[in-house]
């Protein structure tokens, strides 16, 4: 089917959250010992991931804005850290981060339907807007006070891709580029805010996909845990629910 052709390894979103929690438990991360931190788009069709994470981990700390881009910065990461359980003397953070994309029934990137709304819709709207500007070779304003988040996305992701001469982009490649920047921002901010002597953390990134019929999927792209400063890759392929 179209979702799995475009996103190999994508699986039902709830199964993905369940499987990742089982794997993370094996590394000492659980709802009583860890805080979940989430970077997903503001779009309402993305919030199912927050609900699944909430069911397993408790309410997650929100790090992101439009397109799942991380705008919380050191202040936001610092707040999340200071909210972590620590009864055993150690803090633990589990980061989930992903841009999103809809895939239509015929495999059309970006196409989705929304309940109680006439006509086709698109997702991610912020990335669709940016894609149009990149294809025209001209980015919109980066400092419009009435469009702060898209301005930040243009400034960072837009500028990077526009300067990447010779590369053409479509929504799939732009979503991949957004994923890479979100992961980069996450890891850079973790590096300056997390002290491995005092805390463990796990990073799970990927792409959230809205398939036909309102079904959501997740394609993991990065999964690791850092315990006592040592990195362990995580295999999220097991078939399990929490």
SS3 of residue 119 by DSSP: coil
Task: Kindly state the tokens that stand for 78.
Answer: 């610092």
Closer Cβ to Zn ion, 68 or 76, answer by number = 68
Q: Please state the closest distance from residue 21 (CB atom) to Zn ion, in A.
A: 25
Closer Cβ to Zn ion, 46 or 190, answer by number = 46
Residue spans of beta strands (DSSP E) within 61-198: 61-62, 91-97, 100-102, 111-112, 121-122
Closer Cβ to Zn ion, 153 or 234, answer by number = 153
Q: Please state the closest distance from residue 171 (CB atom) to Zn ion, in A.
A: 11
Q: Please state the closest distance from residue 69 (CB atom) to Zn ion, in A.
A: 10
Look-up of token digits 């796990």? 202
- Do the beta carbons of residue 242 and residue 52 sit within 8 Å? no
Q: Please state the closest distance from residue 220 (CB atom) to Zn ion, in A.
A: 19
Q: Please state the closest distance from residue 163 (CB atom) to Zn ion, in A.
A: 24
Closer Cβ to Zn ion, 18 or 65, answer by number = 65
Q: Please state the closest distance from residue 109 (CB atom) to Zn ion, in A.
A: 13
- Do the beta carbons of residue 217 and residue 211 sit within 8 Å? yes
In the chain the first and final C-alpha atoms are separated, in Å, by 26
Look-up of token digits 């990134």? 205
Task: Kindly state the tokens that stand for 15.
Answer: 């199964």
DSSP state of 168: -
Closer Cβ to Zn ion, 102 or 199, answer by number = 102
Closer Cβ to Zn ion, 86 or 173, answer by number = 173
Binding residues (CB under 5 A) for Zn ion: these are 41, 43, 124
Asked, as a colleague might, if the bond just before 124 is cis with ω within 30 of 0, I would say yes
């Amino acid at each position: 089917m179209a979702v799995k052709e475009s996103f190999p390894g994508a699986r039902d979103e709830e199964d993905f959250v369940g499987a990742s929690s089982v794997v993370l438990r094996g590394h000492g991360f659980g709802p009583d010992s860890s805080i979940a931190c989430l970077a997903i788009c503001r779009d309402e069709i993305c919030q199912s991931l927050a609900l699944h994470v909430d069911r397993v981990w408790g309410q997650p700390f929100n790090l992101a804005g439009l397109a799942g881009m991380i705008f919380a910065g050191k202040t936001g990461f610092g707040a999340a850290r200071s909210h972590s359980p620590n009864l055993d003397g150690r803090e633990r953070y589990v980061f989930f981060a992903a841009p999103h994309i809809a895939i239509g029934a015929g495999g059309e990137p970006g196409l989705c339907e929304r309940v109680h709304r006439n006509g086709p819709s698109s997702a991610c709207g912020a990335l669709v807007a940016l894609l149009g500007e990149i294809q025209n070779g001209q980015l919109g304003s980066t400092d419009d006070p009435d469009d702060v988040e898209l301005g930040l996305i243009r400034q960072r992701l837009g500028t990077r891709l526009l300067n990447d001469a010779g590369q053409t982009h479509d929504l799939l490649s732009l979503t991949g580029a957004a994923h890479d920047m979100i992961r980069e921002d996450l890891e850079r901010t973790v590096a300056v805010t997390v002290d491995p002597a005092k805390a463990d953390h796990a990073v799970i990134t990927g792409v959230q996909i809205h398939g036909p019929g309102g079904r959501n999927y997740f394609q993991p792209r990065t999964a690791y845990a850092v315990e006592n400063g040592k990195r362990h890759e995580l295999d999220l392929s097991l078939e399990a629910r929490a």
